[in-house]
Amino acid sequence: MTTKIAFLTASEGIEKVELTEPWDAVTGAGHTAELLSPEEGEVQLFEHLDKADTRPVDRKVAEASVDDYDALVLPGGVANPDALRMDADAVSFVRDFVASGKPVAAICHAAWTLVEADVLSGKRLAAWPSLQTDIRNAGGTWVDEEVVVDGNLISSRNPGDLPAFIKTLLDAV
């Protein structure tokens, strides 16, 4: 049986390397990756503030079930998780995924979606430093570490942490 990993993004503002490098590692290890988004069509990747590639959406998050996946990856980028936290279906999917006990991996600004899903109480996680107050206000503890595992949450600070983030994700699945 193939392990299936969901990658959840908004329609734009996704930091390219935070989607493509984990995606390539997951599929390279023989797992199946599926891109979920609130809208059908394509998502726009960015290299910092500059438009980069696009990727086709495999399934709308409103039509997805946590039961269909073995893990969830939340790429960052500033605009991506900011838009996701405004989408009720995306927030509900993340909340249900965390509650399932299956691995949830979030990097950089992706922690904003976890804040909105109200799943950080008592949790330690790494994220972009500007999210410290949001994480504390959500009951979590921000730490300045390359990769943090707390229960089923895997988190990292930024693209520089991708090697450790990816290794930890692959170990978890």
Q: Which two tokens stand for residue 25?
A: 């590692």
Considering the segment(s) 4-172 as one domain, its CATH architecture is 3-Layer(aba) Sandwich (3.40)
pLDDT tens figures, 8-57: 999 999 999 999 999 999 999 999 999 999 999 999 999 988 999 999 99
pLDDT at 1: 62
Percent of the chain clearing pLDDT 70 (strictly above): 99
pLDDT at 99 over 90: yes
Contact 77, 108 (CB under 8 A): yes
pLDDT tens figures, 143-173: 999 999 999 999 999 999 999 999 999 999 9
Backbone phi and psi for residue 18, each to the nearest 5 degrees, phi listed first: -75, -15
Q: Please state, in angstroms and rounded to a whole number, the distance separating the CA atoms of residues 142 and 134.
A: 9
Which amino acids are annotated catalytic?
A: 108
Determine if the pTM surpasses 0.85.
yes
Q: Please state, in angstroms and rounded to a whole number, the distance separating the CA atoms of residues 60 and 37.
A: 5
How much is the mean pLDDT over the chain? 97
pLDDT at 2 over 90: no
pLDDT at 137 over 70: yes
pLDDT at 169: 98
Percent of the chain clearing pLDDT 90 (strictly above): 98
